[in-house]
Every structure is written in structure tokens, then in C-alpha cells.
Amino acid sequence: MTTRVTTKRPVGSEPPAVRFDRYTSKPMAAARWVAQRVLLGGVVRSVVRVRILGRERLSDLRGAFVVVANHTSHLDAPLLCTTLPRRLARYISVGAAADYFFDVRWRKGLTALFFNAFPIHRAGINRPASEARSLLARGVPLIIFPEGTRSRTGKIGQFKVGAAALASQSNVPMLPVAIIGAHAAHPRGSKWPKAGRPPVAVVFGDPVFAQTGETPTEYMRRVRGEVQRLHDEHAPAVLSRGRTTSGGPR
């Protein structure tokens, strides 16, 4: 006689739901890699000449982190996603304005495919979103543009403190990144990048953790200063490549 052993579930309980998580889905990550590196990367390389600086600073970076970069152009997110090393970019999620990128189904779908995007409600950008905290807790790195919108002049504006509060509360570092030349190549208001493949650069800094007792405002001020320093240090050499190529002064 065979004894059948069964495990009873407590009355009123339900089996654990298996929820599809697009942010950490391996098939989605594989499809996104092709979309980013083949399709998006091909377009980016066809319209601008990209230089990558400081990637050696990322060799010890592991787990979740928050990329903090200046924002001047629609080129910025594609540049970041296609220049980060694959091991760091595989599941990375870009913060995108909920009132624009998530208001229409087709745009939401494309944003999810290419950027694994999560919504940021710009009216409350100073408050770290619960979804962003959840993503970091699951090991998903984030890209946040703390200016909240693209610069009209190309100059680096004020950084809102939400990303600093988010990183500090989640005990993950912020990664300062300076994007150079994107405003000149594809300024706000233009429909397509300028002809001639103008030069741009993505400059990675060292990961920065919050210090003991440091407020989010102080933390963000320190990281913004690093983004500005990286930009100012490398902009003359990067932008002079365009003048030289076009026949300007050497």
C-alpha cells in the first residue's frame, strides 16, 4: 500500500503568483541588447562620432547603482545605454518622464524595449519613487537625469536631490557621467542631429557613495561638481575634434 503525502495550504491562502518582471527578464534583456547595440547604436554611430572616456573606472562596480548625468539632448539616453559595459547595462533602467513617454501605448512600448524605462513623475522628482527603490533592491541599476529636463543652452543646470536621496537610502553609489557635445549635435527643439557626424563624448567618473551624516543636498552637490569637472576637463579636446575635421583651426 502506497501512502500519499500531501502538503496542505493554510485555509484562505493562495499559491504564490508568478509575476512577469520585464525589468529583470533575461529574454527581454537579450532583445533589448540587440535593439540597443545593433539598431540604436547603429543610428547613433551614423550621426555622431562617439568617444568613451573613463570606462576603466567601472572595473570594480558591481550590483545596483544610479547613473547621474547632465541632460542636453535626446541623444543622452542612447549614448549612455550603448557605451556602458554589457555587464552593467544588461538590466539598466532609464528614468523617463511619465507625462510624455508613458502616456501613449506605442511610445511606452518602444521606451520599454530600448531603455527598460521606469516612469518619473516630474512634479515630484525630488521624492525618490517607490518603484525606483524597488528596482535598486532587485539589483537593477538606474539612469536618472537630475536636471529633470533637457538644457536649452547646453550648460549644466541645477541637479534636483531625488537621485541622491534614492542612492543614499538604498546604500548604492551614484555614478557621475559627463556628456559632451550632445547639445551641439542635437539641441533641444531640433528634429534630427546636425549633418557631418559632430563629435560627442561620454566621460565616466568614479562611483561615489554618500558619506556618513551627509544630507541628500550635500551628496548631490558633490556629485554635480564631479559631473561639471569631468565636462570642463574634457570638453575642449572633444569639441576641438569637430573644428579640426571641418577645416577649422588646429
Per the prediction, the chain carries an average pLDDT of 86
Residue 12 has a pLDDT of 44
Higher-pLDDT residue of 167 and 37 is 167
Pick from 28, 150, 133, 170: nearest CA to 97 = 150
Q: Cell numbers for 2, please give them.
A: 502506497
Percentage of the chain with pLDDT > 90?
70
The CATH architecture one would assign to domain 26-245 is 3-Layer(aba) Sandwich (3.40)
* pLDDT for residue 126 is more than 60: no
Residue pLDDT, tens place only, 20-61? 588 999 999 999 999 998 999 999 999 999 999 999 999 999
* 177 SS3 class: strand
Domain ranges of the chain: 26-245
Q: What is the pLDDT of residue 19?
A: 52
Task: Report residue 229's pLDDT band, with 50, 70 and 90 as the boundaries.
Answer: very high
Candidates 68, 88, 79; CA nearest to 175 is 68
Identify any residues that bridge with 224 across adjacent strands, giving them in sequence order.
none
Let me know if 43 is exposed, middle or buried by CB neighbors in 10 A (0-12, 13-18, 19+).
Answer: middle
